Structure 1
Amino acid sequence: MTFLPDDLYAQIEQSMPIACVDFIPVRTTPDGTTEIGLILRDSPFGQVWCHLGGRVNRGETIVQALRRHARDTLDVDLAIEPNAQPDYVYEWFPPNIAPTDGTVYGDDPRKHAIGLSYAVELIGTPAPRNEAHDFEWFTANELPSMWPGSATLVLKLIGLESNWRFAIE
């Protein structure tokens, strides 16, 4: 895979939206409670809890990108079908170009990103690495302080329970 030089990529980020995948691990406890997995990571806002994900590489399918980010960040796979469609599409904007028309969006001072977003079950035991300093499970009523906009995305994704991507038999 060929990567762009940092200065060229920075120019691209300042010029156009970046295609990304976002996901939250989900699980149901024996008592029926839904839990959401989040990572603790460094960010422009300091160390914060947030969902997982990142950009889609050229030549990579959306599901391949999701799986790559799951492996790179938690050393797990995802229970997801090859052509799974997003549960939600969420945009991220730097403050200077953020919409003012009532659009719901997340705050990312680095770039404008279009996040194809999923709620998925994990295959394996999460082992945080690379950008993830830690991983924990939370209920929707106990979400920690998060990256601005991440909590909104999490709540939108768990509100779409019928669209969760479960293990393929």
Structure 2
Amino acid sequence: MTFLPADLYARIEESMPIACVDFVPVREVDGRREIGLILRDSPHGRVWCHLGGRIQRGETIAVAIRRHCVDTLGLEPVLPLNPQPAYVYEWFPPSVAPTDGTVFGDDPRKHAIGLSFTIALEGDPQPQEEALDFAFFPTDALPENLWPGCRVLFERMGLG
């Protein structure tokens, strides 16, 4: 895996889209679908959002999802060998956001291309690193303070 110095990575983020995995733990409780979200500090304040992050050079998509899940919740997700995204969603900073009607999420830090997955978890998630908290929410009762664009992403993934 290649780790870049912070100043170089910041220049890269300003210059090109970043490939990311975005994922949402899903479970059924009493016949109702629930999705797992983390609470985190963000440029939008303290918000609930999906999990994920960038894919590192030499990482498969499955390895990237596992790494982010273990780092954020302390659990290995249940994944097939070659997971396929439920949706591909783009995140833009306001300075380069499209004005042509493209549906996108708001990320003031970077332009990201999010390969978006649903995953299953086994065990008890323990929020760590960026996650201040973790909770499952019924899809029809999501918290109001969602990262801008998450609600649309969940709908596009068939979770709304």
Q: Aligning the two structures, in what range does the TM-score lie when normalised by the shorter sequence?
A: over 0.9
Q: Does 1:118 align with 2:120?
A: no
Alignment RMSD:
1.2
State how far apart, in whole Å, the 2-side matches of 1:72 and 1:141 are. Answer: 28
**Equivalent residue, structure 2, for 1:130:** 129
Amino acid of the residue matched to residue 105 of structure 1? F
Q: Which residue number in structure 1 is paired with residue 37 of structure 2?
A: 38
TM-score (norm 1): 0.91
TM-score by length of 2: 0.96
* Letter in structure 2 aligned against 1:153: L
Aligned AA (1:135):
F
Give the alignment of 1:1-169 within 5 angstroms.
Answer: 1-29=1-29, 31-144=30-143, 145-159=145-159
Deviations 1:93-129 (A, max 9, x none): 0011111111110000000000000011112211000
Q: Which amino acid aligns with 1:73?
A: T
**Unmatched 5+ residue regions in structure 1?**
161-169
SS in 2 for 1:85: coil
Give deviations 1:7-43, integer Å, cap 9, x for gaps. 11111000000000000000001x2100000000010
Answer yes or no: is the 8 Å Cα contact 1:39–1:51 preserved in 2: yes
Residue deviations 1:41-72 (CA, integer Å, cap 9, x gap): 01001110000000001110001000101100
Aligned counterparts of 2:93 and 2:125: Cα–Cα separation in 1 = 31
Counting aligned pairs with the same residue, the percent is: 64
Residue aligned with 2:9, SS: helix
CA apart distance, 1:150: 1.1
Count of matched residue positions in the alignment of Structure 1 and Structure 2 = 159
Return the letter of the residue paired with 1:21: V
Give how far 1:159 is off.
4.4
Q: What amino acid is the match of 2:3?
A: F
CA distance in 2, matches of 1:130, 1:49: 15
Unaligned runs of 5+ in 2: none
Q: Which secondary structure state, in structure 1, belongs to the residue aligned with residue 34 of structure 2?
A: strand
